[in-house]
Chain A
Amino acid sequence: MTRGALVPSRFAPVLTSLAAIVAAMILGGVFLAMRGKDPLAAYGMLFSRGLGTSYGITETLIRMAPLLIVSAGLLISLRAGVWNIGIDGQLMVGALFAGVVASAVAGQIANPLMWLAAALAGMGGGLLWALVPAILRVRWGLNEIITTLMMNYVALNVTSWLVKGPVKDPNVVPPQTRLIPQEMRLPDIAGSGVHIGLLVGLVVVLLVSVLFRNTVVGFMLDILGRNRQAAIHAGMPVNRLTLVALLASGALAGLAGANDILGVKGLFQGNWNPGYGFAAFALVYLARLHSLWIIPFAYFLSFLAIGGEMMARPLGIPTYFVEMLEGLMLLCFAVATYFERIRSPFGRAEEIETGPATAGEPPGPLVGDPVFEPVARSAGGRP
C-alpha cells in the first residue's frame, strides 16, 4: 500500500538518488537561465553530444575507468565508517610513482610487465599516502577526516616539488616525468577507442562487491561501519579493520592514478590533479554505498563531465558548471534522504542507510596492545 509495494524494494534507495539528480539538474537549469542561457538547449546539447556521438561515448568510457577504481576504494572506507577525504592526494602520489616506475622500465621489459610494475607502484604510492593518516587514527585516535584532508595539500606540494627536481625529465622544460611512448601505453579494448583500464575498473568493482558479499573481511568492515561498539563487542579487530579500510582505499586511489598515466597521459605533470575525489563521493553516495550501483552512476557522472565539457565551450557556459551540478546532486541527495527517513517506518533502526556513523568520533587512546593486535578496550562515551 505504500511506496514500497509499488517498487521492488531493491530499487527504492536508488530512486531517491534519481530524484536527487533530477532536482539538481532543474536547479542547475535555473542557474543557467539566470545567467541568460537557455537551459533546454544546454541540456539538449549535453545529451546529444554526450550520448549521441561516438566521441562522447568513447570519452565517457575512458573517463569511467578511474572513477570506478577510485569509487570502489572509497566505498570500502565509507562502508567501514572511515572517511577518506584524501583520495586526491593518494591518487596524485600513486600517479607520480606509476609515472616514474613506468618510464624507468619502459622498453626494458615486456609491456604487460611494465604495466604491472606501474600499477603496483601506483598502489604502493596511494597506500603510502594513506598509511600516515591510518596510523595516526589507529595509534593515536586522530580524526582521519582532518589528516587525510591535510595529506592532500602535502601531496600537491611534494609531487610538484619532486617533479620539478628529483624525478623530472631532464630533456624537457616543463616539470614532468619522462613520457611513455604511445605504443607502450595500455592498448584499446578490441575495436573501440577505449583502453583496457575500463576493464580493470569493472573488475575492481566486482571484486569489491564480492568482498562485501562473500568474505569475512567485508562482513566485518560493514559491521564496523554500522556500529563500531558492536564490532568491538563481537571481538572484531577494529583497529586492523580501520587500517585495512584506509589502506585499501588509498591503494585503489593510487591504482586509478596509474591508470590515467598508463592509459591516457603517459606522464605525470606537476600540479596535475583531476579531482576525482569529489566526484567519487557524489558517486558512492548516489549509489547508496552499494558496490554494483557504482557502475551505472559512474557512467552517468562521466557522461556529465564529458558532455559538460562538450557543451560548455560552444554555449559559453563555465566549465565548472558540471562540478556545480555534482555538488547540487549531493545536496539534493542529502535533502532527499532526510525526507526518506521521515517517511520510512525505520523508527528505531536509525543507522540504516546513513552510511558512516562513527566518523565523527575517533577512538580515544588505546589501552594495551599495538596496532596489529585486536585490542581489548571498551569505547568511551556511551550515551
Chain B
Amino acid sequence: MANPHPPAPLSRRAGRGGNEEPIDRGPIIAMRDISKRFGPALANDHISLDLWPGEVHAVLGENGAGKTTLMNVLAGMYQPDAGTIRIAGEEVQIASPADALRRGIGTVYQHFTLVPNLSIVENVVLGDEGGFLPDLSAADAKLTAMLADFGLDVSPRTEIRNLALGQRQRVEIIKVLLRGSRVLVLDEPTSVLTPGEVTALLDLLRHLRDQGVAVVLITHKLGEALAVSDRVTILRNGRNVGEFGPDVMTGAAKESVRDRIVEQMFGATQPTETRHHGAQQSIDVSPGVAIKHPGHSEPAGEESRHSRTDAAFSRDSSFLGMTTSLRRSPSRAESGTTLLSLRGISTLGDRGAPALQDLSLDLHRGEVFGIAGVDGNGQKELGEVIAGQRAVSSGQIFLDGAEITNRGLGTATRLGIGYVTDDRLHEGSVAASSVTDNVALKAIGRQPFSNGFWLNRRAMDEEARRLIVEFGVKTPGPETAIGMLSGGNIQKLLLARELALAPKLLVCNKPTTGLDLRTARFVVQTLREQADAGKVVVLISSELDELMEISDRIGVMYNGQLVAVMPRGETDLETLGNLMLGGARRAFKVPA
C-alpha cells in the first residue's frame, strides 16, 4: 500500500499546553548544518536539529545513520567539521564532554560510567567541581530526596555494584541532572533494560519533560519513541530526512505516523505490494535464500538479501504491536533428531554463585529453541555452557551422542557450535582490530585463514569483503577498526562471522539488540532459515515477541533452572511473563 501522506511539514512549536512559560520562546539547542566526516564516511551531512525545553525528542534512523555521531558532537566529544550550535540563542563551541556538561548538556551513554565500588553519593559527587574533599553529607540529603523522586528506594550510600542495570541508569541520569543539565541525551537507553524497567524509564522521561528538561531519546524501538516523544527526527545516511512535530506526534493521527516514520527511515523504495499492514501475514521462508556459506556459495546476492529484508520489514510485527507469526508446521521440531543433550548441568556464575542448577535439555535438529527470562537468571550462563565457553561443575553434555563436557570453546567451535555473545563490545569484538581481523578471529587457526601457522591475509580480506557485502555492513572498508563502526553494524558482523562458519548449532544471546527494524527482521528471519535448513538455533532473548515469532519451543529460565519448556503454540505472552517472574512451574518439564 503506497503511503498517501506526504511527510509532515517541519512544524515549529505548535502549541502544547503546559509549559509555554518564559523559556519557551525558542529552542534551547539549535544545531545548524552540522557535518562530521570520518575518513570516507560522512557520518553527519548538514544536519539541523532543534531541541525544545519540555519536550522528548526521539532521534530515529537505521544503523549507521549518524545518530550517535550527532549526539557526540552535541556532547563535545567530537568537533563538527562544519555547522554551528546555539544554546538558548547563543552560538557556542563545545570543547569537551566536561564543557558540554557545564553548559547544561548531560549525556547518558549506553556504557555506564559509574564506578561500581563507590556508593551512589560518591559517584554523583565524583568529578564535581567541589574540590578534593566534597561534602558528602550535604549531598546525601539532596540525593535522598532525589532518589525517592526517581523511584529509587535505596540509600545514597548503596554501592553501585549492588544496583540493577535500570537503577544504575537512573543514577546516571540523576548525576547529570544534579549538574544542572537542561538537556538530557540518552543513546539507546532501553536496550539493556527489562520491560518493566523500560516502562519506568519512559515514565521518568515524561516526568523530566514536564519539569522543562529537553530530552533526546535515541532508540530503535518505534513503540517507545511513539509512546513518549513529542517530536521525532529521522536521520538517514547522515542527513535529516524528516521531522514530525508535536501536532502529529501527540495528535489523533498518531497511529498513521508509524508507517510514515518507517518509510522515511529506510526510504520508500520497497515494492509496494509487500507493504501490507494490519493483517496477519505469512512470509515465505524457503531455505533457497539462506545465507551462503563459504564452500557452497554462489555469488553474494545483494539483491536477494534486500528484497528479503524489505519483505521482512514490511511486516514489522513487533512495532505494529501485533503478533503476526511466521507460519510453519509446528511439528517439525519433534521430527528432528537430537543434536545436543545437557544432563544435570550445574555451574557457577562469574561471581562464584550458582548460575545453573541441575539443568537438563535436549535440542533437536531443525528447531529454534527460545529462552526467555529476566536477565541474570542463568540464560547467559546456559548459552556459554552450550557454547563451551563456561566449564560446568557437574553434569554432562553430549553432541550427537558423544560426550563433549568441558572440552572448551575451541573444541566446541570445531565441532560446529557457534555462539553470538550479547556483549559485543567487550567480548565479541576487538575494538582496535580491523573488521578483517575480527571476522577471522574465531577460525584463525584453520583454512582458509591460515594453514595453522602462516596467516593467509588475502583469504581473510576476501572473507571480510564478502560478509560486508552480503550483510550490508556499513564500513569504510575491511581495514577499518571495528570499534569505529556503529553498534548495529558491529552486531551484523558478529552474526555474519558465526554464520559463515556454518555451525550445526548456533547460540544467539540477544542478537537483535541495537539493530534497526529492518536488520532485526533480517536477523530473526535468518535464524529461522538456519533451523529450517536442519540446524539448531538457541535464541536467548528478552524480546518476547521475537521469541514467540520464530521459536518452536520456548524455555523459561528462572533462578538457574528451566522452569518450563513449552511448544510455541501452547503458550502466550502472559504465561511467559508470569513464568519469568518465578510463577508456577508448568507441567511441561523437559523430558530427561
Binding site for B on A (CB under 8 A): 1, 213-217, 219-220, 222-223, 226-227, 229-230, 232-237, 342, 345-353, 367-369, 373-383
User: Bound state CA distance, A380 and B111, in angstroms?
Assistant: 18
Interface contacts (Cβ under 8 Å), in number, total 133
Of chain B, the residue at the smallest CB distance from A379 is: B350
Quick one: closest B residue to A368, CB to CB?
B391
In-complex Cβ contact of A223 among B111, B428, B437, B452 (8 A): B437
A-B contact pairs, 15 of them (CB 8 A): A215-B455, A216-B444, A219-B444, A219-B455, A223-B430, A226-B432, A232-B409, A233-B427, A234-B442, A235-B388, A348-B425, A352-B483, A367-B393, A368-B406, A383-B116
Q: Which of A213, A217, A235, A382 has the most CB of B within 10 A?
A: A235
B294 to chain A, nearest CB (A): 18
Neighbour of B409 across the interface among A214, A227, A235, CB < 8 A: A235
Chain B stretch 404-422: residues in CB contact (< 8 A) with chain A: 406-410, 412-413, 419, 421
- Top 9 A-B pairs ranked by shortest CB distance? A349-B483, A235-B410, A235-B409, A349-B431, A376-B408, A352-B432, A367-B391, A234-B441, A227-B430
* Chain B window 444-472, contacts with chain A (Cβ cutoff 8 Å), 1 for yes, 0 for no: 11000010111101000000000000000
Taking a contact as CB atoms under 8 Å apart, the answer to whether B454 and A215 are in contact is yes
Tell me, yes or no, whether B384 is within 8 Å of chain A by CB: yes
Whether B445 lies near A216 (C-beta < 8 A) is yes
B81 at interface (Cβ–Cβ under 8 A)? yes
**What is the bound-complex CA distance between A342 and B453, given in angstroms?**
38
In the complex, which of the residues A217, A230, A374 contacts B410, with contact meaning CB atoms closer than 8 Å?
Answer: A374
**B111 contact from A217, A379, A383, Cβ within 8 A:** A383
User: A49: shortest Cβ distance to chain B, in Å?
Assistant: 41
Query: What 0/1 readout, one digit per residue, does chain B (295-323) give for beta carbons within 8 Å of chain A?
Result: 00000000000000000000000000000
Contacting residues, chain B, for A350 (C-beta < 8 A): 431, 483
Contacts of B432 in A (CB 8 A): 226-227, 349, 351-353
Which residues on B sit within 8 Å (CB–CB) of A347? 72, 77-78
Provided the pairs A230-B430, A349-B481, A352-B432 are in contact, do residues A380 and B350 lie with their beta carbons within 8 angstroms? yes
Chain A residues positioned under 8 Å from B384 (CB to CB):
378
Minimum CB–CB distance for A311 against chain B, Å: 41
Q: Chain B contacts of A346 at CB under 8 A?
A: 481, 483-484
Q: What's the Cα separation between A346 and B111 when bound, in Å?
A: 15
B521 interface residue, CB < 8 Å from A? no
| B423 CB within 8 Å of chain A | yes
Closest Cβ–Cβ distance, residue B439 to chain A (whole Å): 11
Shortest A94–chain B CB gap in Å is: 27
Q: Which residue of the partner chain A has the closest CB to B75?
A: A347
Complex contact B453–A223 (CB within 8 A): no
Q: B413's contact among A222, A235, A353, A367, by CB below 8 Å, is which?
A: A235
| Complex Cα–Cα for A163 and B116 (A) | 52
Q: Which of A215, A227, A236, A351 contacts B453 (CB 8 A)?
A: A215
Does B433 sit at the interface, judged by CB under 8 A?
yes
The residue in chain B whose Cβ has the minimal distance to the Cβ of A375 is B408
Whether the pair A376, B409 counts as a contact (CB closer than 8 A) is yes
Task: Give the complex CA separation of A214 and B481 in angstroms.
Answer: 19
**Is A227's CB under 8 angstroms from B426's CB?**
yes
Chain A residue with the shortest CB-CB distance to B347:
A367
In the complex, residue of chain B having the shortest beta-carbon distance to the beta carbon of A366? B391
CA distance A63 to B78 in the complex (A): 45
Asked if residues A378 and B454 are in contact (CB atoms below 8 Å), the reply is no
- Contacts A229-B426, A383-B111: A223 and B410 contacting too (C-beta < 8 A)? no
Within 8 A of A (CB), among B306-365: 350-351
Docked CA distance A266–B429 (Å) = 50
* A373 CA to B408 CA, complexed, in Å: 9
B406–A376 CB distance below 8 A:
yes
- Is B389 interfacial (CB 8 A cutoff)? yes
Given contacts A1-B81, A352-B483, contact A378 B350 (CB under 8 A): yes
Complex: A373 Cα to B407 Cα, angstroms: 9
Q: Does B132 contact A (CB under 8 A)?
A: no
B419 closest partner in A (C-beta): A233
B57 beta carbon closer than 8 Å to chain A: no
> Given that A216-B453, A351-B431 are known contacts, is A378 also in contact with B444, CB under 8 Å in the complex?
no
A216-B444, A347-B77 known; A233 vs B454 contact (CB < 8 Å): no
Please state if A376 and B455 are interface contacts (CB–CB under 8 Å).
no
A25–B589 alpha-carbon span in the complex (Å): 74
Query: Distance in Å from the Cβ of B241 to the closest Cβ of chain A?
Result: 24
| Distance in Å: Cβ of A63 to nearest Cβ of chain B | 33
Contact (Cβ within 8 A) B423 A232? no
- B450 contacts across to A, CB distance below 8 A: 216
Closest to B457 in A: A214
Is residue B67 contacting chain A, with contact meaning CB distance below 8 A?
A: no
Q: Contact at B452–A230, with CB atoms within 8 Å?
A: no
Give the residues in chain A near B390, CB-CB below 8 Å.
Answer: 376-378
Contact of B433 among A226, A236, A382 (CB under 8 A): A226
Give the residue of B77, B410, B425 whose beta carbon is less than 8 angstroms from that of A237: B410
Distance A22 CA – B567 CA, assembled complex (angstroms) = 70
Could you tell me the distance between the alpha carbons of A320 and B202 in the complex, rounded to whole angstroms? 63
CA distance A149 to B498 in the complex (A): 42
Shortest Cβ distance from residue B580 to the other chain A in the assembled complex, whole angstroms: 22
CB of B247, distance to nearest CB on chain A (Å): 36
**Once the chains bind, are B430 and A374 in contact (CB under 8 Å)?**
no
Does B426 lie within 8 Å of A345, measured CB to CB?
Answer: no
Complex contact A376–B407 (CB within 8 A): yes
Which of chain A's residues have a CB closer than 8 A to the CB of B412? 235
> Which residues of chain B are within 8 angstroms of A349 by Cβ–Cβ distance?
431-432, 481, 483-484
**Residues of chain A contacted by B410 (CB below 8 angstroms):** 235-237, 374
Taking the closest CB of chain A, its distance from the CB of B215, in whole angstroms, is: 22
Instruction: Please state if B430 and A220 are interface contacts (CB–CB under 8 Å).
Output: no
Q: B388 near A233 (CB under 8 angstroms)? A: no
Determine the residue in chain B with the shortest Cβ distance to A353.
B432
Most buried by B among A219, A351, A352: A219
Closest to A376 in B: B408
Residues of B with C-beta under 8 A to A377? 390-391
A residues near B393, Cβ cutoff 8 Å: 367
What A residues does B72 contact at CB under 8 A? 347
CB-CB under 8 A from B484, the residues of chain A are: 346, 348-349
Q: Which residues of B contact A219 (CB under 8 A)?
A: 437, 440, 444, 455
Across the interface, do B452 and A216 meet the contact criterion of CB distance under 8 Å?
Answer: yes
- Chain A residues near B111: list those with CB within 8 A: 383
Chain A residues, Cβ within 8 Å of B388: 235, 376
Asked whether B442 lies within 8 Å of A383 as measured between CB atoms, the reply is no
- Chain A residues with CB under 8 Å of B431's CB are 226-227, 348-352
Please name 18 further chain A to chain B contacts, defined as beta carbons within 8 Å, in addition to the given A215-B454, A235-B388, sorted by A numbering.
Answer: A214-B454, A216-B445, A217-B453, A223-B437, A226-B432, A229-B426, A233-B389, A233-B421, A234-B441, A235-B410, A235-B413, A347-B77, A348-B483, A349-B431, A349-B483, A367-B391, A368-B391, A374-B408
Which of A369, A376, A382 is in CB contact (< 8 Å) with B350? A382
Interchain nearest-CB distance for B584 vs A (Å):
32
Distance between Cα atoms of A94 and B426 in the complex (Å): 39
Given A226-B433, A378-B350, residue A383 in contact with residue B426 (CB < 8 A): yes
